[in-house]
Chain A
Amino acid sequence: MKPLTRIRSRTAVLAHENIDTDRIIPARFLTTTQRAGLGRFAFNDWRYTADGKPDPAFELNQPAARGCEILVAGRNFGCGSSREHAPWALLDYGIRVVLSSEIADIFRNNALKNGLLAVVLEGAEHRYLLAHPGIELAIDVAQQTIELPDGGRFSFTLDAFAKHCLLAGVDQLGFLLAQNDAIDIFERRRGVAA
C-alpha cells in the first residue's frame, strides 16, 4: 500500500445521495478472483450508454473531471453491499479521497483498509464543496485538514489507527498477527469457561 500523506487535486462532484456500492461497481463484475483492474468498471452503468460508449452526461466523463483524485459525493455514499470491489474500483480508477457528509460504515472501513481516504464533513462544508466542483483542495492527512483555494480550511476526524496505517502505508494485518499471544490467551480462557 502506498503511504497517503498529502493530496492536492481538483474535485469531481457526484451530488447524488445514497450512491450504493452496486452503483460503484455492478454485481455482474464481481465474478473476478482478482482485485486489480476494476477501475474500468467503476460507475459502469452511469458511465456508459447502452451501446457501451462513454455517456457525456455523466459527471465524471466531463473534461473538467479528468484526473481528479478527490471525489465529493452526496450524503450516505457507499451504502448497500459490503463488496470491497467498490474501493478497489475507485482506487484503480484514480480516486484517492472520498468526501461526503455521511459515508456508510462498511464502505468507509473497506476504503481506509485500502488506502482510500474516506472523510466525513460537516453539512455546511459538504454543501460548499458540492456547490463548487473542480476547485483545488490540498488535503493533509497528518494534520487532518483540507485547504481551500481561498485559504479557508476544514478539519476532519480520522480514527488514530487508520491514520497511522495511511501515513505509514502499512496494512492492518501485520498488527493483528502480532497479537497472537493475546489471542491464544483469550482462546484458552474461553476454552476453560465454556
Chain B
Amino acid sequence: MGARTLLDKLWDAHLVKAPTAATPGILYVDLHLIHEVTSPQAFAELRARGLEVRCPERTLATLDHSTPTTPFDDLGQPVYASEEAAAQVAELERNCAQFGIRLNGWSSDHRGIVHVIGPELGATQPGMTIVCGDSHTSTHGAFGALAFGIGTTEVGHVLATQCLLQQKPKSLAIEVSGELPANCSAKDLVLHIIGQIGVNGGTGYVIEYRGAAIRALSMEERMTVCNMSIEAGARAGLIAPDQTTFDYLRGRPYAPHGTDWDQAVAHWSAFASDPDASFDRIVHVDATRVRPTVTYGTHPGMVVALDANVPAPVSLQERRALDYMRVEAGKPLAGTAVDVVFVGSCTNSRLSDLRAAADVLRGRTLAARVRMLVVPGSLVIKREAEQEGLDQVFRAAGAEWREPGCSMCIAMNGDLAQPGQLVVSTSNRNFEGRQGPGARTVLASPAVAAASAVAGCITDPQSLLQEQAA
C-alpha cells in the first residue's frame, strides 16, 4: 500500500464495504454518543420499524443541551425552563432504559456536555470512528479519531446498524509552524485559523492539524482547536496521537488497563500520516503571528485581533453583520461595552479553561452591570474546580457558578441573553440570535472573556495585568 494520511488509515480501518459507482461506502462506527435533542425521532423510527439497537455497548448517552444549570429545587430536582425540555429529557431516559444504553443522567457522577465527557471517561480513543447527532463531534478528533456530526436520520442508522453510508471526504493539512505567543491560547489560534481559511474553507474536507505549534498543545487545547473545525465547514478535525494523548488517557475509566494498555498504545501509534502521504490541500499557518483574537461579526470567520481595527465590510452580508453587531469598521473592538460574559461550552469549559478565567478574576470583581456565567463542562470538572477553590474566585468576583451543561452556548435551557445585549462568550458560534433572539455574540478565549467581565468592555487581559503592575 502507498503512503497514507491519517484520514486514509482511519477510513480504511472502518470500511465495511467500499463505495461503488452506485452506492456509498459503509463505515463502521466504534462509538456513538447521543443526547436528548437529536435522538428522540431516531428512537421513534426504531420503534416504528420494530428494530433493536445493534450495539448498546458502543452507545453512550448524556443530558446536556436542554438541561438547566441552575441549582436543584428543595426536593433535589432540576428546574427545567419548559415542560417540553423536561419531556425531552424524560424521553431519553426512557429510550436508554428500553434499549439498554448507558446514560450519564442526573444521578451520574459523569454527566456533562457530550464532547467533554467522552474524552474525560477515556471513551474517546485514537483510531476510532466516533459520531454524534451534533456538529461539534469534531472535538474528539484531537485524539486521532475520525469524529463527525450526523443528523437524526443517521443517528437512527447507527443505532440500528452501527454503520453509516459515507463518501470519503477530502483531506486538508493545516501546518501550524512556530510557537504560539505566551499570551495566546488555543482559542486564539483556532479563531485565527478560521479567519485565514474562511467559514467555508473546510467544506468537503477533514482537517488534519499538524506542525510544531500543534504538537506543543495539551489535550485540552487540542480539543478546543478540533472542536471549531466545523466552524470552518470541515466535518472533522484530526490531530495524530502522541505521548501527550497517551498520558491524558492513561488511567481513565474506559481506557484500556494493564497489558491491554501497552497493546493499545502500540495500535494507536500507527495512526499518523505517513511522512510522504499527500493531502488534497495544504494550508500554512504561522503561530508566531497569532494575537488575542475575537469575532466581530455574525459568523466565526469574521475575526479580528484585539489590537487591530475591524476590517471594512466587503459584502452586503458583512455590512448587515456589522449593523447587527453595532460594530464600526476601522475602529478596534477592544473597548466595546459588554453586558454578559459566558465561560463554558464544549469549546472552553474544561479545567484549564476555568483556571485561565480564574487567574484573571482572582482578587478582582466584575464591572457594574456585567453578568457572568461560569458553566463547567462536566460534573467531574465542577468538582475538580471546587477542590482548587476556583468556584470561590468566581463567586467572589460576582460571577454565577453553575451546574454543568451546554447553557448559553445554545441558549435552549433558559440561560440566554436579552435582545441587544453584547455577550463575550467562550463558545463556538456567534450566529445572529444564537444566545437569545437579538443577542450579539463575541467569541473569545476564557482569559479575554474574564478580562472583559472585569473591565466591562472587551479587553485584552494583558492590559489588566499591566495596570496592576503600574
Chain A residues with CB under 8 Å of chain B are 15-18, 20, 22-23, 26-28, 30-35, 45, 50, 74-76, 79-85, 87, 102, 104-106, 109-110, 113-114, 159-161, 164, 171-173, 175-177, 179-180, 182-183, 186-187, 190, 194
Contact = CB atoms under 8 A, between A and B. Distances in A.
B135 interface: yes
Contact of A82 (B38, B204, B437): B38
A18 B91 CA distance: 33
Interface of B: 16-17, 21-24, 26, 28, 37-38, 40-41, 44-45, 49, 51, 54, 65-66, 82, 84-85, 87-88, 91, 133-135, 149-154, 156-157, 160-163, 165, 167, 169, 199-200, 203-204, 230, 233, 235, 267, 299, 315-317, 320, 410-412, 419, 429, 431-434, 437-438
A143 B165 CA distance: 24
Contacts, number: 172
A176 B157 contact: yes
Nearest to A20: B431
A62 B62 CA distance: 43
Contacts of A177: 51, 160-161
Contacts of A26: 433, 437
Given A35-B152, A160-B21, 5 more contacts: A31-B66, A85-B152, A113-B153, A179-B26, A186-B28
Most chain A CB neighbours (cut-off 10 Å) among B49, B65, B152:
B152
B153 A114 contact: yes
B323 to A, nearest CB: 13
Contacts of A83: 37-38, 151
A2 to B, nearest CB: 16
B203 A109 contact: no
A28 B152 CA distance: 17
29 contacts: A16-B320, A22-B429, A22-B431, A27-B412, A27-B434, A30-B65, A31-B37, A31-B84, A45-B433, A75-B200, A79-B199, A79-B200, A82-B38, A83-B37, A104-B203, A105-B169, A105-B233, A106-B149, A110-B154, A159-B167, A160-B22, A161-B165, A173-B49, A173-B156, A177-B160, A179-B163, A182-B17, A182-B26, A190-B28
B160 A74 contact: no
Contact of B199 (A30, A76, A172, A182): A76
Contacts of A32: 84, 88
Given A84-B151, A176-B157, A179-B17, A35 B41 contact: yes
Given A33-B91, A106-B151, A182-B17, A18 B157 contact: no
